[in-house]
Amino acid sequence: MSELSGTPFGTLSDGTEVRSWTLERAGVRVRVLSYGGIVQSVQVPDRTGRPGNVVLGFDDPAGYEEHPGPYFGALVGRYANRIAGGAFPLDGRTYQVTRNEGPSCLHGGARGFDKRVWEVVPDGPYALRLSRVSPDGEEGFPGRVEVSAVYALEESGALRLDYEAVTDAPTVLALTNHSYWNLGGVDGGPEPTAGHELRVDASRYTPVDADLIPTGVAEVAGTRFDFREPRKSGSGYDHNYVLDKGVTQAAEEVAELYDPASGRVLTVATTEPGLQLYTADQLTGPYPPGSGIALETQHFPDSPNHPEFPSTVLRPGEVYRSRTVYGFAVRD
């Protein structure tokens, strides 16, 4: 049984204390921060049984404050990914939200959920419950939204992320985790992940314009976007995949990442309809470009401006629910 006790992790530049919490089960150890709901590290064994951290992160709050743009390991919201022009229509009114990436709103604006301190409490012996209230008008988004996220280690050692939210006024909401995975291990400096083998169960994806805003839906067949059969992940991807399963009540496996060198395998299961593949070619900070792969389970980018996409509208009386499960294994 793991010891669920928060420990000091340091302070932010404004003096706010950040605490860390550790979950451990079935050979997997996960460290979570109150700042940004960040998954700071995930220790899993390789094929020889040697443990290693497989997500990019920092050892103190200063690292996250100095390098906020990549969203290392963070819980992002209110709206994961981009909203074109930082504006969207809802019930006959246009809402203007913070533009923090050129003309777009990215991952909830300048101070999204990733830059907030969350309340963290144990939720059983192998789980943590993170919660906060996002006030009406935060970063321009309407409605007072009460959000919770449960980070849990299942009996197998899989990391399960469960999100719930309610609102007092119509709004849009899309949450995800922004971990960068490197199954070769990041201790001592990560090797490039271009040699990882990736499978994504998606026959379609959303092409994007110069601002990475979707322009529609296209088939992956015959293109470099086809990962329906496992192949090297390569580079040059920051695209949303339209998962074949669509929105589901239960989390279904949609992707697998494999590192031939270490033997580590990561599986991704989700209730979400989309998966953003980002090969981190524009990564900034102490980690070089291409040293991690983000597999962000999500609704599609700019959905509030695309009525043909699955809806991200949340109304009073409804409950937003989303689940993603990251499973770990080894292969000879």
Spans of the chain, pLDDT less than 50: 1-3
* Angle ∠(199,69,105) on CA atoms, nearest 5: 90
Catalytic residue numbers read 178, 296
Note down the domain range covering 289. Answer: 7-330
The answer to whether residue 60 sits within a structural domain is: yes
The answer to whether residue 266 sits within a structural domain is: yes
The answer to whether residue 23 sits within a structural domain is: yes
The answer to whether residue 2 sits within a structural domain is: no
The answer to whether residue 224 sits within a structural domain is: yes
The answer to whether residue 285 sits within a structural domain is: yes
Q: What are the φ and ψ backbone dihedral angles of 261, each rounded to 5 degrees?
A: -70, -45
Read off the DSSP letter of residue 206.
E
CATH code of the domain covering residue 121? 2.70.98.10
pLDDT tens digit sequence for 123-158? 999 999 999 999 999 999 999 999 999 999 999 999
The answer to whether residue 119 sits within a structural domain is: yes
**97: nearest Cα among 109, 107, 89, 113:** 109
pLDDT tens digit sequence for 215-248? 999 999 999 999 999 999 999 999 999 999 999 9
Q: For residues 285 and 268, what is the distance between their CA atoms, to the nearest angstrom?
A: 27
* Angle ∠(314,294,47) on CA atoms, nearest 5: 130
Domains held by the chain: number: 1
The answer to whether residue 1 sits within a structural domain is: no
